[in-house]
Structure 1
Amino acid sequence: MSEEGRFTIHLEQQEDYQILVRFDWRKAADLLMDEPPPLGETAGPNASRLLAAAAANCLSASLLYCLAKEEPPANSLRTEATCILIRNDKKRLRIGGMEVRLIVSDELAESARFNRCKELFEDFCVVSASIRDGIPIRVEVLDQRGTLLHSAD
């Protein structure tokens, strides 16, 4: 289950605000992202929705792994993620918080491991733990020749 190191995904603007995401796994389907109106047409999820989905998915997988290891029972977990959008001091839209609700089946709730796992699983979720701690992001803008036009840490 380890993914130490680095990975790169590729994004390419299609039309308007629709961006096609190509993942580094050959079997992973491409994903079309878009913005809500008035910019886009909601032809796909936007970044805020993907961030919420990523945190919820990671928490779900972490809890399932702790409870059932390699063979979690099918249809034993449902998860809801709510993203709370706010405006900062500059009136810019930001993610002010997330609420993630994991709904486990009786089979999982009655597992001998449940009491231990409910105290551990969040610490093993790469995404939610990283968001909570803050993620440094380095940003560069280059032209098509590779000339650096902008850099920010």
Structure 2
Amino acid sequence: MSENAIPSLCEWAGGSSAFERLTEIFYRRVSDDPLLAPLFARMDTHHPHFVALFLAEVFGGPAHYSEQRGGHRAMLAKHVGRHLSEAQRARWMALLLECADAAGLPDDPEFRSAFVGYVEWGTRLAVLNSQLEQLPDEHAPMPRWGWGETGGPYRG
């Protein structure tokens, strides 16, 4: 990164390792959460790593999730037919934000605004797609979240 370059949200967070810490903490706590534990009872042991790859890519990090796991469409496919509830979505989001603190993610307002903005958008998209029986868009692009021109997040 050049001296005047603006870091990606992934870089600002501490790189891919920051999202690895976040998802490790989060999924340890999920197993004790009465609302979320049943959703992840048969979770692949690599699931936290895959989610970390996805988050890092969304926030401007390497495209490892797309290269290794199939991109946004593959993530959407994990939710189709699961019939997630608003209560589960809200709890997932609240727990992830608690874990962001525990993982030491930056707590400055600009980063947290972008982080929360994506998590809010992403969890609502997951609930919508979980009500479907098939994927709505075979060409779903990977979301890219950044600072935006005014300091806020953008998708592009």
Q: TM-score, normalised by structure 1?
A: 0.30
Structure with more contact order per residue of length (Cα contacts < 8 Å, sep ≥ 6): 2
1 or 2, which has the higher helix percentage? 2
Higher-Rg structure is 1
1 or 2, which has the higher strand percentage? 1
Q: TM-score, normalised by structure 2?
A: 0.29
